[in-house]
Amino acid sequence: MYTIKKENISLWQLFVLILIFVIGTTVVVGAGEEAKQDFWVAELIATAIGMAMAWGYYYLLRSSNGKNLYEIIVETCGRIIGNILIFGYVIYFFYIVTRNIRDFGEMMKVTILPITPIEVISITMMFVIVFIVIQGVEVLARVTELFTPFLVFFLLLVFFLIFASEQIHFENLQPFLAEGFKPIFSSVFPLRSSFPYGEIVVFTVLMRSVTRFNYVGKVSVVSIMVGGLLITFSQVIQITTLGEDVKNRTLFPLLSASREISVMGFFERVDILVVFILMLGILIKVSILFYAGLRGLESIFNMSYRYFIIPISMCIPLFSIVNADNIIEHFEEGLQIVPYVLHLPFQMGIPILLLVLVLIRNRKNKKVAGGVKH
């Protein structure tokens, strides 16, 4: 019988993994048409929800004696039903991988590789991801730990250069709450609470690898808070630079905002920094999702996840292209359909059901243990 190899990561590595995962494509890709100029308020609310979800996922694992998501599913639902649910999560994680690869390909075509086929861009990215994932989660964590300072520095540098270019117009944030809280809540749920914060359900596969598991909940919450504040600041920059109308009509608003930079006639066209931010964010985010999906296959077939890396990685670029005919359809699918059909069940529905079953089982076990003592 195959024994799953134990891999360990530190609390700091978990922190940077969640931070980069949350930032990922979020600081670059546009959203929030409903909330208009108040979208930054929606982002703050979504961050608070994300912090609560992170603690909820940790509480689920802690209530199950530190088992990971797949082990909890099998233990509570049985092997047959459990494997069906696990396979559902596998498909879910791989589907998000294809969407992020498509985001990366479209971004590269818009910026620095306009005549390169998107298929070539996607396949090249998958080569790098395969090389990282095949080494295991420890190497993935070290790579993230290495590149996180560069990503955060370049993101803050873009913010600073936009300020220095005097392109910030705070009047674009007015009027404040012109239509009340209804548009804000429409933007928060389910879209913003599920993307990117709900997607951290993937870390229920990784959290058990942390050496000091008791601190995982606090570290996860702080990481979500830092990531959420960076995203909120990015939204403020985009709105004040471009205006609400232009921002909502732009596919990559931070990229458009960075093209407004002109400092002393020397610092111009720094959109390559935004490309780097997106590239590194997607590299880490996709690697985490890809690894989690592979571990699901490992749980189902009782074989090392490395056996599945090559065949699955060959399918990812293909499905990233056939998922949508064009970028408009790609974004409409991700913003209007996916949150209801996929995000809600896999991020909230199933985890809540599992938590209820785990708490009921724990209560029964306590009653049985109490009866034995008496």
The Cβ of residue 367 has, within 10 Å, a number of other Cβ atoms equal to: 10
CB of 187 within 8 A of CB of 160? no
pLDDT digits (tens, 9 = 90+) for 210-262: 999 999 999 999 999 999 999 999 999 989 998 888 888 887 888 888 888 87
Residue 335 in this model has a pLDDT that exceeds 90: no
Is 108 a residue whose pLDDT tops 70?
A: yes
Confidence of residue 369 (pLDDT cuts 50, 70, 90): low
Q: What is the pLDDT of residue 107?
A: 85
Residue 158 near residue 166, CB atoms below 8 Å: no
Compute the mean pLDDT over every residue in the chain, rounded to the nearest whole number: 90
E strand or H helix that includes residue 262? strand 262-263
Q: What is the mean pLDDT of residues 347-367?
A: 92
Q: Is the pLDDT of residue 172 over 70?
A: yes
pLDDT at 372: 55
Tell me which architecture the domain covering 11-364 has in CATH.
Answer: Orthogonal Bundle (1.10)
* Domain extents in the chain: 11-364
pLDDT of amino acid 341: 92
Residue 153: exposure state from Cβ atoms within 10 A (0-12, 13-18, ≥19): exposed
Residue 197 identity: Y
**Torsion angle of the four alpha carbons 92, 96, 98, 101, in this order, in degrees rounded to the nearest 10:** -160
Single pTM value for the model? 0.94
User: What is each CA distance from 372 to 56, 63, 368, 369, in whole angstroms?
Assistant: 32, 22, 6, 5
Q: Taking phi first (over 0 means left), then psi (-120 to 50 degrees means alpha), and beta for anything else, what does residue 245 get?
A: alpha
- The distance from CA 101 to its chain's CA centroid, rounded to whole angstroms, is 13
Q: Residue 126 — pLDDT band, cuts 50, 70, 90? A: very high
- What is the amino acid identity at position 143? V
Cα–Cα distance measured from residue 225 to residue 18, given in angstroms and rounded to the nearest whole number: 10
